[in-house]
Amino acid sequence: MRITCPYCGERALDEFTYRGDATVKRPDSLDENTAEAWVDYVYLRDNPAGPHKELWHHGAGCHAWLEVTRDTVTHEILDVAFARKGC
């Protein structure tokens, strides 16, 4: 598999590490009513067949965290963007 890093260009899979779902949002830890949201955020993941936004780290390159849209069925990479918004 090849991933096109916005900084570094098309690179081999071995340069990246996978983290997981990029769509989960970290709840507010100071809000005491977020217990369920925290369990969801830390432990529970959907397992979609098809396009999936996920976080990859370009550890053997620019060290950027990337939001990669990958089809989990075909492994096709549909889009790669910086995880840091506004970059």
The residues that touch Zn ion, with contacts defined as CB under 5 A, are 5, 7-8, 58, 61-62
Which alpha helices (H) appear in 2-87, and where do they start and end? 35-43
Shortest separation between residue 11's beta carbon and Zn ion, angstroms: 7
* Nearest distance in Å: CB 46, another protein: 18
Integer CA distances (angstroms), 73 to 51, 63, 70, 86, in order: 8, 27, 9, 30
50 binds, among another protein, Zn ion, none (CB under 5 to 8 A by kind): none
**Which residues on neighbouring strands pair with residue 18, listed in sequence order?**
56
Distances (CA, A) of 83 to 10, 18, 31, 32, 34: 17, 13, 25, 28, 24
Using CB under 8 A, which residues numbered 20 to 79 contact another protein?
26-30, 34-35, 38-39, 41-43, 55, 57, 59, 63-65, 75-77
Type of residue numbered 54: E
The residue ranges that bind another protein (CB under 8 A) are: 1-2, 12, 17, 19, 26-30, 34-35, 38-39, 41-43, 55, 57, 59, 63-65, 75-77, 82-86
